[in-house]
Structure 1
């Protein structure tokens, strides 16, 4: 199976978090803006168990559908912000409080929003 890249992978990640009832899902195209990645998926969970489920199930769904695992992950659900790093795509799973505090959408305000639904 050929590895998915960029937009296809970002949309698959967004749909995976959506399957587990993530809130306020946004996909940003940061190509040429961020030196870290090309796409960011940002979503919120409403509790510690929900954040854990989003991480676990997103990895499983993306691996099942596209055969890809994240290259790394940073943080733990207990920190209220975890990143799954697929190189071309970074998935940010955050509590509402962390999301409000760090305001990634504003930080990457020049990014184009991708319609993933």
Structure 2
């Protein structure tokens, strides 16, 4: 099976796929990107053992303004593109910037304003997941 790379060339995919974990290049790059823009209360949820989960991991953080929410999301996309050569499958919420979601299929990044994070309580909704705090 072949995939189209960012440069427009075809790359052969390996049949042995590497499972995403907290030591994966993508995970570490996203974490570094949110930390660079001073995101607060950063946690990751390991969803791999939850059959209903839509991704392997959620990375959840918050920011104190819409400007900071957008800056974090933009930095995640830029760093992942530079380091991992990946573009997000999609992103949502950039207009209102109360809750921005950046979806990399296996890892979904949630960037909240504090009030919105309290309202949706993703950590409680996915309480079966292994939660890890990141400084």
TM range (shorter): 0.7 to 0.9
The CA deviation string for residues 82-107 of structure 1, in whole angstroms up to 9 with x for no partner, is 11010000000110011111111111
Matched, 1:17 2:34: yes
**Gap runs ≥5 in structure 1:** none
Matched, 1:111 2:125: no
Query: Shift of the alpha carbon at 1:52?
Result: 1.0
Higher RCO, 1 vs 2 (CA within 8 Å, ≥6 residues apart): 1
The CA deviation string for residues 55-97 of structure 1, in whole angstroms up to 9 with x for no partner, is 1111001111111111111222515011101000000011001
Matched, 1:93 2:107: no
**Gap runs ≥5 in structure 2:** 1-10
User: Could you tell me how far apart the structure 1 residues matched to 2:97 and 2:70 are?
Assistant: 11
- Is contact 1:48–1:77 with CA below 8 Å preserved after alignment? no
Q: TM-score, normalised on structure 1?
A: 0.87
- Is contact 2:40–2:62 with CA below 8 Å preserved after alignment? yes
> Which one has a larger percent helix, Structure 1 or Structure 2?
1
* SS of residue matched to 1:6: coil
Please tell me whether Structure 1 or Structure 2 has the larger radius of gyration of its CA atoms: 2
Matched, 1:38 2:56: yes
Please name the residue that 1:62 is paired with: 80
Q: What number of residue pairs does the alignment pair up? A: 117
Please tell me the root mean square deviation across aligned C-alpha atoms, in Å.
2.3
Please name the residue that 2:20 is paired with: 6
Please name the residue that 1:47 is paired with: 65
User: Could you tell me how far apart the structure 1 residues matched to 2:124 and 2:47 are?
Assistant: 12
